[in-house]
């Protein structure tokens, strides 16, 4: 068997990082194709000895024609027996042109519900017969797939995963975000790791700070188009001394590890790798009550949800969870049993065998 992976781009993101964890451990013949030239994660895959092709997709028609020809050439040369596609553009491109170029077994790895993208969802639904198997990363996505006419026997769930060895190597137990930011020793640090975009609902988290006392500090790790609006909101609410915009950081794990509470307030998610990593570190977690988040914290003793558009409820849940006692051993056992990378790799191998 030879596995081909097709993804929209290899920049920084959840699907991309999932591949970076899983592919090197598969130990089977494989290659990766990216529709675009985004390559942050692509470079890391290449360092691990994985062959990566970039098709250079842009929006003009001539370019799209050339991309199809490049893809055909790669498929003829590599001769994959299975093609696994990630993200909506690659899902559509891969199932249409993969079939056209002779690939019989096509997997569609689903990371998001695209119901709100009417045209994309129409195309997705009407090309589903070309897919041999759908592999969502959360059971919360199964109703969406069924609405699109996908039968139960064509669905296998494969969650995102945690690489505990990588976490162990990257973690610096001596690091203190309180020291870096000159915070008080008794301050309670809330952290959120997310792109600064509307769907992440970070304005709700900032507003929730109004209902918490001054000992609570908020760290926002990430960057995005909403930064100016969020900074303005922070200023208007007179929270500039309590909300810190840390931008893009390479030491995210250390920041989360030295914080007290992790919050994921999103309107929309796939399956959050940042949430999984916070759980792997034994952090108290507060998430919005969307199914994609609540399904992850099921069975996690210090995980709690709040009403997604309700900043007062978020503040209330933060106060509630800060007082909860933690058993790190029990939490670690829960995360390892459900999301350890070696467990997920073996599950993926079984899927590839059975297809």
Give the domain CATH number at 234.
3.40.50.2000
Backbone angles phi, psi at 240, to 5 degrees: -60, -30
* Banded model confidence at residue 59, pLDDT cuts 50, 70, 90: confident
Helices (H) and strands (E) in the chain, counts: 16, 12
Task: Return the pLDDT at 232.
Answer: 98
Q: Say whether both 27 and 62 belong to one domain.
A: yes
Q: Say whether both 322 and 345 belong to one domain.
A: no
Task: Return the pLDDT at 343.
Answer: 94
Domain hosting 86: range is 3-161+340-354
pLDDT higher than 80, residue 329: no
Task: Return the pLDDT at 150.
Answer: 96
Q: Say whether both 282 and 177 belong to one domain.
A: yes
Q: Say whether both 216 and 349 belong to one domain.
A: no
What Å distances lie between residue 259 and 3, 135, 200, 280, CA to CA? 40, 34, 20, 14
Domains in the chain, number? 2
> What is the Rg, in whole angstroms, of the alpha carbon atoms belonging to the chain?
21
Q: Say whether both 151 and 168 belong to one domain.
A: no
What is the b/e burial string over 236-249, where b = at least 16 CB atoms within 10 angstroms of the residue's CB? eeebeebbbebeee
Q: Say whether both 213 and 327 belong to one domain.
A: yes
Q: Say whether both 172 and 183 belong to one domain.
A: yes
What is the b/e burial string over 122-136, where b = at least 16 CB atoms within 10 angstroms of the residue's CB? ebbeebbebbebbbb
Task: Return the pLDDT at 339.
Answer: 93
Q: Say whether both 350 and 334 belong to one domain.
A: no
Task: Return the pLDDT at 327.
Answer: 75
| Contacts of 113 by beta carbon, 8 Å cutoff, 6+ apart | 141, 144, 268, 292
Tens of pLDDT, residues 104-162 = 999 999 998 998 899 999 999 999 999 999 999 999 999 999 999 999 999 999 999 99
């Amino acid at each position: 068997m030879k596995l081909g992976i097709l993804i929209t781009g290899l920049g920084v993101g959840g699907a991309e990082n999932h591949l970076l964890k899983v592919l090197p451990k598969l130990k089977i013949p494989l290659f990766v194709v990216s529709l675009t030239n985004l390559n942050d994660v692509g470079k890391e895959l290449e360092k691990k000895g994985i062959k990566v092709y970039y098709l250079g997709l842009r929006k003009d028609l001539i370019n799209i024609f050339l991309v199809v020809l490049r893809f055909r050439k790669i498929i003829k040369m590599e001769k994959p027996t299975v093609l696994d596609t990630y993200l909506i553009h690659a899902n559509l491109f891969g199932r249409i042109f993969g079939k056209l170029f002779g690939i019989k077994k096509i997997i569609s790895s689903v990371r998001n519900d695209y119901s709100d993208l009417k045209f994309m969802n129409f195309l997705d639904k009407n090309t589903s017969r070309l897919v041999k198997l759908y592999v969502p990363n959360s059971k919360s996505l199964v109703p969406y797939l069924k609405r699109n006419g996908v039968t139960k026997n064509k669905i296998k769930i494969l969650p995102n995963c945690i690489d505990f060895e990588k976490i162990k190597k990257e973690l610096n137990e001596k690091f203190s975000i309180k020291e870096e930011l000159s915070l008080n020793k008794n301050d309670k640090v809330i952290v959120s790791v997310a792109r600064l975009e509307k769907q992440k609902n970070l304005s709700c988290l900032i507003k929730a700070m109004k209902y918490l006392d001054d000992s609570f500090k908020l760290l926002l790790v990430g960057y995005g188009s909403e930064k100016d609006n969020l900074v303005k909101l922070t200023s208007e609410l007179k929270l500039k001394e309590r909300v810190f915009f840390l931008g893009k950081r390479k030491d995210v794990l250390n920041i989360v590890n030295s914080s007290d509470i992790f919050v994921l307030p999103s309107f929309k998610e796939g399956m959050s790798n940042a949430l999984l990593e916070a759980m792997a570190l034994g952090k108290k977690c507060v998430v919005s009550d969307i199914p994609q988040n609540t399904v992850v914290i099921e069975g996690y003793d210090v995980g709690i949800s709040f009403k997604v558009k309700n900043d007062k409820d978020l503040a209330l849940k933060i106060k509630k969870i800060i007082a909860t006692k933690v058993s790190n051993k029990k939490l670690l056992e829960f995360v390892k049993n459900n999301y350890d990378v070696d467990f997920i790799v073996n599950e993926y191998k079984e899927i590839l065998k059975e297809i």
